[in-house]
Amino acid sequence: MPNTPVIDVERLNVRYGDFHAVRDLSFQVREGELYALLGTNGAGKTSALETVEGHRAASSGTVRVFGRSPRERRTVRPRTGVMLQESGFSPDLTVQESVRLIGALTRRTDDVGRVLDLVGLTRKARTRVAQLSGGEKRRLDFATAVYGTPELVFLDEPTTGLDINSRDELWTAVDRMREEGTTVVLTTHYLEEAQQRADRIGLMHRGSLRREGTVAELTRTLPAVIRFSLPDTAPELPLPVVREGDGSFLVETPGLQRDLHILLGWAQDNAVELRGLEAGPTRLDDVFRALDTADA
Ligand SMILES: Nc1ncnc2c1ncn2[C@@H]1O[C@H](COP(=O)(O)OP(=O)(O)OP(=O)(O)O)[C@@H](O)[C@H]1O
């Protein structure tokens, strides 16, 4: 059934007593996709994903993973890898013992050496978990998700606490798994990572999915921007601008190429230097900020 989504969430609601944390959430993740579920703090991402991962029961709505309820752990779990924000390994176990334990718990098989190599922990194989650095523990968390190369992997803020080289290594490992067809669900507060890597993004705010689409679809809804600074002696500008707090100028435009052309022509004719000139489509950060103000 090639058209069956790997994840199918229909009108999911999660309540904690009187508090309604997830409201009528619907989304699908297709085979081989990297879907980023992003949102403001407290938006309900963890509550939603814990339900999809089978750790939490839905208050109402349906969740299907590989066409099954994620509560059918025996069927779904061997096909699913989960990197939680903290896996809670026993501090007394060594790294290689912890990875073996993952194998036993997930009922997947793999070569421990291969996994340690993939997550960059080969040299720490005999080190106890208690003696690992924060970044090394995060790599061990990552090992839980990639052990046995499952078909579906959840990465919950996978690069938090990792230095830039470790982040690059983690993404290289994820890219390799994706080449083999693994479907990935990502949550992160590093929006540039989602912007670079996600095939589609769902943006949650206050329990609901407020936007969904590719990065291009999401950013297209807001105007492009041109930013620059000017010497005090510059003549009047040819376009409406906003003066930013730092003294720089901002042009918001639905016609980036046209307005950039006008601005550059004006600068050339008046021999004005446009300092620190930046021009480009809206970033995901801007979509996020608009979400917070528009939907407040
Ligand atoms: N066990 C719980 N009991 C009561 N309220 C909870 C519980 N877990 C989460 N909440 C509340 O539900 C809301 C959604 O929380 P959740 O952790 O799902 O959000 P999130 O989008 O993952 O947030 P963050 O980005 O800050 O990690 C929050 O207001 C939170 O306080």
Three-state SS at 234: coil
Indicate whether 115 pLDDT > 90: yes
pLDDT per residue over 201-255, tens digit each?
999 999 999 999 999 888 887 788 899 999 888 899 999 999 988 889 999 898 8
Residue 1 forms part of a structural domain: no
For the segment 151-186, what is each residue's pLDDT rounded down to a tens digit? 999 999 999 888 998 899 999 999 999 999 999 999
Q: DSSP state, 192?
A: H
Residue 114 reports pLDDT greater than 90: yes
Tell whether 267 and 129 lie within a shared domain.
Answer: no
Q: How far is the CA of 131 from the centre of ligand 1 (A)?
A: 30
Q: How far apart are the CA of 45 and the centre of ligand 1, in A?
A: 8
Q: Quick check: is 231 in a domain?
A: yes
What tens digit of pLDDT does each residue of 227-236 get? 999 988 889 9
Do the domain assignments include residue 174?
yes
**Is there a single domain that holds both residue 149 and residue 171?**
yes
DSSP 235: -
**pLDDT tens digit string along 59-100?**
999 999 999 999 888 888 889 999 987 777 889 999 999 999
What beta strand segments (E) does the chain contain? 7-16, 19-29, 34-39, 60-65, 80-83, 152-156, 183-187, 200-205, 208-213, 224-229, 242-243, 249-253, 275-280
Q: Assess whether 207 and 64 both reside in one domain.
A: yes
Domain stop point among 201, 218, 235: 218
Do 98 and 38 sit in the same domain of this protein? yes
Residue 2 belongs to some domain of the structure: no
Question: Mind listing the pLDDT tens digit for each residue in 247-289?
Answer: 899 998 988 999 999 999 999 999 999 999 999 877 788 788 7
Q: What is the pLDDT of residue 233?
A: 87
What is the mean pLDDT of the segment spanning 94-108?
Answer: 90
* Distance from Cα 234 to the centre of ligand 1, integer Å: 51
Q: Which domain holds residue 61?
A: 7-218
Per-residue pLDDT at 121 exceeds 60: yes
Residue 155's beta-bridge partner residues? 83, 186
Q: Are residues 227 and 259 in the same domain?
A: yes
For residue 204, the cross-strand partners are 39, 209
Give the residues surrounding ligand 1 with Cβ less than 6 Å away: 16, 19, 21, 39, 41-47
Query: How much is the ipTM here?
Result: 0.96
End position of a domain, from candidates 172, 189, 218: 218
Mean pLDDT of the chain: 91
Residue closest via CA to ligand 1's atom 17 equals 46
Residue 293 has pLDDT above 80, yes or no: no
Helix (H), strand (E) at residue 114: helix 112-118
Of 152, 184, 218, the last residue of a domain is 218
